[in-house]
Amino acid sequence: MDKIKQFVTDFGWPRIIIFLFLLFLFIAAPFVGVRIDASISDVFNRFGQNALFVLAMVPMIQSGCGLNFGLSIGIIAGLIGSTLSVQFGLTGLMGFFGAVALAIPFAVIFGWFYGLLLNKVKGEEMTIAMYVGFAGVMFMCIMWLILPYTNSTMVWGYAGKGLRTTISVEGYYRQVLNDFWAIRIGTDFIFPTGMLLFVVFCAFLMWLFLRTKTGTAMTAVGSNPDFARASGISADRMRTVSVIISTVLGAVGIVVFQQSYGFIQLYTAPLAMPFAAVAAILIGGASVNKATMVNVLVGAFLFQGLLTMTPSVINSALKTDISEVIRIIVSNGIIIYALTRKTKVTK
Amino acid sequence: MAQQGPLLSVEHVSKEFYGNIVLHDVCFDLKAGEILGLVGENGAGKTTLMRILFGMPVIAQTGGYKGRVCIDGNEVNFSNPFDALDAGIGMVHQEFSLIPGFTTTENIVLNRESMKPTFLNEVFGDRMSVLDRPDMKKRAESAIAKLGVRLDSDMLISEMPVGHKQFTEIAREINREKTRILVLDEPTAVLTETEAEVLLVALRNLAKQGIAIIFISHRLHEVIQVADRIVVLRDGLAVKDTAVAGVSVRDIASWMVGRSIAAERLDAGEKREFGPEILSVEHLWVDMPGETVRDINFAVKKGEIFGFGGLAGQGKLGIPNGIMGLFPAGGAVKLHGKPVELDEPRKALEMGMAFVSEDRRGVGLLLDESLEWNIAFTAMQIHGQYLKPVLGKLLKIRDEAGMRKLTLEYIGILDIKCTSPSQKAKELSGGNQQKICLAKAFALKPDLLFVSEPTRGIDVGAKKLVLDTLHKYNREYGMTIVMVSSELEELRSICDRIAIVDEGRIAGILAPTADIAEFGLLMSGEKTEAVQGANRG
């Protein structure tokens, strides 16, 4: 009994309730005509697509910069990388890793400037970050139009210049990770082994990083910047490093997302992405100052599970198509819930 | 005003905060027209006594006080400062509470402005009255005249010298018709000597007009100059209540600091020998808010325990904080003859210095992390210890086992009470947290250790253990220690030399066996001949 109690305290009531609700949705699904195998496949897919964004929250939480509402900056770097990869005509795994490799330098540079900015606004990081993200996305809306891309699969057909809002990566790197060692059962269930392995690999690297000297210093900065300073650590440097890592993960994350989803989405598409990641990590049990790999994986799974199942089950039950509305209500509702429940560091 | 009995009498007042006794059975009387000097070290209970007198809500919130406070022989028990004001007690605080953009007059009569009714009063009541400026000015000037100083009643506070601000504060208090008792908390602390002189004359003037004054100051010569009678508080006890006539500064100083039990040296009779000079500090200044260091010169020999004492706010805490690079500092600091880069904590740590901060919870600990982290963190970051290679030496990660071993070792040595090494630091008691801070510094194996207020806010048993530990590390490992403390007895019990800091400078360096009165004099900014000789640089 004590063990159960301990487990409940550790895991947290919110997660247990959400998990039970998710379970209920899976049980209810067949009764309203939703295929269970397709649903589970969907959940895995969406988990893989979004897990890296959730993972990107970790370094900044640990260093005390709060939740990275400006993850769009990293996503933009990823979009630059992926469009360049398509522009250069790289295909297959080469296309995917080419996109990642091309995106990382941009992510590092963007992250560095973004970090410098956040160091100037300590205490208000989250608000500022959100607007940095918005501003960055809007600025890129102009850039996508005027940057000299020429690949005919990407530019507007009638003008011959300016990138389209949605670009298919079919023939470039669509599903390259998903199909790697993919397990197919029947017609509707596909387990995206490659993508999940990639996610786990990234999470492992992060786990390892947090245990290095630098990672330890970063956590200490988030826990008590004055303590860190008195131990000879430059808090500003650690914060900048954390922002760069977060931005790089955002960039890699969007490439992973694209290969699974099949499309590069430009213009205002990155606007809402940080919110889903923020909601996921908070659901996973992270506070604004502490996050673990378990928080990331559990959070991404629960959040994406809810986001997949709630609309489809309710849609089928009500026989209308309000899935997008429900999705928005669910994701924003969770963000509100999570932010009101956030725990602060002891001072 | 022809009072026969005492105007104010404090009878057997005791007060404790959460079991910590800060005032014990304090009694004194105050007659009309009398100036009472109230002196005592920091933490002797002066502020608490004044809070009780003034009805500050904090007193009631922490369980009230025992004993009686009587005005004109009637017991009073103020629940808030307004009651005290109504009863005729005026208070001038150490910090100014004036509105900078208002004139002297406006500040003096603030919230008691003279009003002129207008026709709107008929409809809207008194709130529609307008200010009667000529009358306000008249009242302000009469208050200033009563004080006997020259003060421009139309000058803006923001344009005034500090002295005039202080006078404005006092004028505001005596402008109340009812004010009969005036409490001044360190009124001369911010004044220059000439300004202070003028203030003292003004206070005498007020006393002649029948106002009773309680004058709190740590400048003892001023107390002697102005007061009729003094009350000395020490550790919450009124140890002396005597007329000033015939009392010397030296007497007061020894009453202030003297303990009934003499300092117990841990090493009575031990012959102490030191190595070469390890740390030399010349013309150090530190810009630490509230603890400004102006010009400090001293040198410490290897194996020595060097103490810094002095009253709060005089700059003793700024010394280690400045040398360790935590606050902007300048001057020449040399360790082992090599110059130390100031403003760079990492450099100071790498050179072999460590610091146990006085701000335990703010700077000393990672409250949300485990004890292992707290103790091993600095050693890991500075010396690269407690890391182990993984992935074929590609990467080094934390050596959790090593950290645990280190933590268990210190838990044993320092007798730290905790459930496990992975307990969070915030869950420990103050004394055990202090031990963690010490362990963190010891883990660095420093040549020179700075400890700042090592026993602040911890209980007696833990205090002894902390001091014994410092003593042990000094004797057994030859660790040189520079200790800063507000508790003179503590310094006297383990230090080899003690420097008293006053106004950001060293007032004098004494042997721990020196007469207690000497320390008291140095703390009050008085120079003695015995010290002039010993004072180096």
What is the chain B residue with the closest CA to A230? Answer: B345
CB-nearest to B381 from A213, A289, A347 is: A213
Average pLDDT over residues A273-284: 87
Residue among B442, B456, B37, B103 nearest B244 (CA): B37
Q: Are strands B353-356 and B89-92 parallel, antiparallel or unpaired?
A: unpaired
Does residue B126 register a pLDDT over 60?
Answer: yes
Average pLDDT over residues B332-351: 89
Q: By the CB < 8 Å criterion, does B115 face chain A? A: no
What is the chain B residue with the closest CA to A344? Answer: B368
Does residue A255 register a pLDDT over 50?
Answer: yes
Residue among A47, A327, A66, A82 nearest A221 (CA): A66
Structure tokens belonging to residue B385? 């210890």
Q: By the CB < 8 Å criterion, does A216 face chain B? A: yes
Distance from CA of A345 to the nearest CA of B (A): 7
DSSP letters, B283-343, are EEEE--TTS-EEEEEEEEETT-EEEEE--TTSSTTHHHHHHTTSS-EEEEEEETTEEPPTT
Instruction: Assess contact for B197 and B5: CB atoms under 8 A.
Output: no
CB-nearest to A230 from B326, B347, B397 is: B326
Does residue B153 register a pLDDT over 90?
Answer: no
Tell me whether residue B228 is in a domain: yes
CA distance B521 to B258: 12
Residue among B311, B312, B326 nearest B357 (CA): B326
CB-nearest to A227 from B347, B365, B396 is: B365
Average pLDDT over residues A317-326: 76
Residues of A in contact with B383 (CB under 8 A): none
Tell me whether residue B303 is in a domain: yes
> Which tops the pLDDT comparison, A83 or B265?
A83
Q: Return mean pLDDT, chain B.
A: 84
B187 and B305 fall within a common domain: no
Q: Do B362 and A226 touch (CB under 8 A)?
A: yes
Please tell me the number of Cα atoms within 13 Å of B146 on its side-chain side.
21
Instruction: Assess contact for B273 and B281: CB atoms under 8 A.
Output: no
Q: Which of residues 315 through 344 in chain B touch A, CB cutoff 8 A?
A: 324, 326
For residue B155, give its domain range. 95-177
| Lowest-pLDDT range of A162-166, B294-298, B320-324 | A162-166
Tell me whether residue B369 is in a domain: no
Q: Are strands B8-17 and B387-390 parallel, antiparallel or unpaired?
A: unpaired
Which of B381, B387, B399, B400 best tests the A interface by mutation, with the highest count of A CBs <10 A? Answer: B381
> Within 10 A of B252 (CB to CB), how many other CB atoms are there?
26
DSSP state of A346: P
Q: How many domains does chain B have?
A: 3
> Within 10 A of A234 (CB to CB), how many other CB atoms are there?
16
R_g of chain B, CA atoms, integer Å = 27
Does residue A253 register a pLDDT over 90?
Answer: yes
| Backbone dihedral angles phi then psi of residue B298, each to the nearest 5 degrees | -165, 165
B82 and B184 fall within a common domain: yes
Tell me whether residue B314 is in a domain: yes
Q: Do A216 and B426 touch (CB under 8 A)?
A: no
B189 and B41 fall within a common domain: yes
Q: What is the pLDDT of residue B289?
A: 84
Q: Which residues contact B65 (CB under 8 A, 6 or more apart)?
A: B13, B14, B15, B23, B52, B59
CB-nearest to B381 from A217, A226, A346 is: A217
Structure tokens belonging to residue B436? 């963690």
CB-nearest to B395 from A212, A217, A223 is: A212
Burial A179-194 (b: 16+ CB within 10 A, else e): beeeeeeeeebbbbbb
Structure tokens belonging to residue B518? 């000497």
Instruction: Assess contact for A82 and A264: CB atoms under 8 A.
Output: yes
B283 and B308 fall within a common domain: yes
B168 and B188 fall within a common domain: no
CA distance A74 to A53: 9
What is the chain B residue with the closest CA to A232? Answer: B346
DSSP letters, B383-446, are H--SEEEETTTTEEEE-HHHHHHHHHHHHHHHT---S-TTSBGGGS-HHHHHHHHHHHHHHT--
CA distance A95 to A153: 15
CA distance A67 to A290: 10
* Termini Cα distance of chain B: 55
B188 and B166 fall within a common domain: no
Instruction: Assess contact for B311 and B523: CB atoms under 8 A.
Output: yes
CA distance B440 to B450: 12
H helices of chain A, where? 2-11, 13-28, 36-62, 72-87, 92-120, 125-146, 193-210, 213-223, 225-230, 235-261, 273-283, 293-318, 323-340
Mark residue B186 as left, alpha or beta (left: phi above 0; alpha: psi -120 to 50; beta: remaining).
Answer: left
Does residue B536 register a pLDDT over 70?
Answer: no
B22 and B127 fall within a common domain: no
ipTM of this predicted structure: 0.81
Structure tokens belonging to residue B149? 């100083």
Residues of B in contact with A238 (CB under 8 A): none
Q: What is the pLDDT of residue B535?
A: 44
Q: Do A213 and B380 touch (CB under 8 A)?
A: yes
> Within 10 A of B461 (CB to CB), how many other CB atoms are there?
10
Report in angstroms the alpha-carbon separations of B207 from B92, B210, B227, B501.
16, 5, 10, 34
Distance from CA of B466 to the nearest CA of A (A): 21
Residues of A in contact with B348 (CB under 8 A): 232
Predicted confidence band of residue B113 (pLDDT cuts 50, 70, 90): confident
Residues of A in contact with B366 (CB under 8 A): 220, 223-224, 227
* Termini Cα distance of chain A: 34
What is the chain A residue with the closest CA to B391? Answer: A208
> Which tops the pLDDT comparison, B485 or B150?
B485
Q: Do B381 and A289 touch (CB under 8 A)?
A: no
Structure tokens belonging to residue B197? 């002189």
Residue type for A22, please?
L
Residues of A in contact with B388 (CB under 8 A): none
CA distance B123 to B72: 42
Q: Which of residues 394 through 433 in chain B touch A, CB cutoff 8 A?
A: 395-398, 426
CATH of the domain at B224: 3.40.50.300
B53 and B127 fall within a common domain: no
- Cα dihedral value B110, B111, B115, B121, nearest 10: 150
What is the chain A residue with the closest CA to B389? Answer: A212
What is the chain A residue with the closest CA to B400? Answer: A211
| Residues comprising chain A, all counted | 347
Residue among A184, A174, A222, A210 nearest A294 (CA): A210
Distance from chain centroid for Cα B285: 19
Q: Do B367 and A211 touch (CB under 8 A)?
A: no
What is the chain B residue with the closest CA to A226? Answer: B363
Q: Do A233 and B346 touch (CB under 8 A)?
A: yes
Q: Which of residues 11 through 30 in chain A touch B, CB cutoff 8 A?
A: none
> Within 10 A of A276 (CB to CB), how many other CB atoms are there?
22
B284 and B354 fall within a common domain: yes
Which of A61, A206, A211, A218 best tests the B interface by mutation, with the highest count of B CBs <10 A? Answer: A211
Does residue B259 register a pLDDT over 60?
Answer: no
> Which tops the pLDDT comparison, A98 or B176?
A98
CA distance A271 to A257: 15
Q: By the CB < 8 Å criterion, does B357 face chain A? A: yes
Give the H or E element holding residue B136. helix B133-147
> Within 10 A of A160 (CB to CB), how many other CB atoms are there?
9
Q: Do A230 and B350 touch (CB under 8 A)?
A: no
pLDDT tens digits for range A105-161: 999 999 999 999 999 988 888 889 989 999 999 999 999 988 888 888 888 878 778
What domains, with CATH codes, occur in chain A? 6-340 (1.10.3470)
% chain B with pLDDT above 90 = 15
Q: Which of residues 224 through 253 in chain A touch B, CB cutoff 8 A?
A: 224, 226-227, 229-233
CA distance B260 to B249: 20
B342 and B463 fall within a common domain: yes
CB-nearest to B357 from A208, A212, A230 is: A230
pLDDT tens digits for range A157-212: 787 788 888 888 888 888 888 888 888 887 778 888 889 999 999 999 999 999 99
Judge if pTM exceeds 0.80: no
Cross-strand pairs, A263: A168
Q: Which residues contact A336 (CB under 8 A, 6 or more apart)?
A: none
pLDDT tens digits for range B371-425: 999 999 999 898 888 888 887 777 888 888 999 999 999 998 888 888 888 888 8
Residues of B in contact with A219 (CB under 8 A): 369
Residue among A109, A119, A120, A46 nearest A80 (CA): A109
B69 and B100 fall within a common domain: no
Q: Return mean pLDDT, chain A.
A: 87
Residues of A in contact with B378 (CB under 8 A): 231-232
Does residue B449 register a pLDDT over 90?
Answer: yes
CA distance B248 to B220: 9
B27 and B44 fall within a common domain: yes
Q: What is the pLDDT of residue A81?
A: 93
Q: Do B398 and A347 touch (CB under 8 A)?
A: no
CB-nearest to A227 from B347, B366, B396 is: B366
Q: Which residues contact A281 (CB under 8 A, 6 or more apart)?
A: A54, A57, A58, A61, A67, A291, A295, A296, A299, A300
Distance from CA of B44 to the nearest CA of A (A): 28
Q: By the CB < 8 Å criterion, does A290 face chain B? A: yes
Tell the residue number behind the tokens 């320092």, with chain if given: B414
Average pLDDT over residues B78-107: 84
Does residue B4 register a pLDDT over 70?
Answer: no
Residue among B306, B234, B250 nearest B516 (CA): B250
pLDDT tens digits for range B199-223: 888 888 888 888 899 998 877 888 8
Does residue B237 register a pLDDT over 60?
Answer: yes
Q: Which residues contact B322 (CB under 8 A, 6 or more apart)?
A: B284, B285, B286, B288, B293, B328, B329, B342
Instruction: Assess contact for B327 and A213: CB atoms under 8 A.
Output: no
Structure tokens belonging to residue B24? 């014990």
CB-nearest to B397 from A211, A345, A347 is: A211
Q: Do B366 and A223 touch (CB under 8 A)?
A: yes
Residues of B in contact with A212 (CB under 8 A): 387, 395-398
Q: By the CB < 8 Å criterion, does B362 face chain A? A: yes
CB-nearest to A208 from B367, B382, B397 is: B397
CA distance A96 to A98: 5
Average pLDDT over residues B37-65: 82
Give the H or E element holding residue B185. strand B181-185
Structure tokens belonging to residue A141? 């809306």
Number of A/B CB contacts below 8 angstroms equals 82
H helices of A63-91, where? 72-87
Q: Do A230 and B345 touch (CB under 8 A)?
A: yes
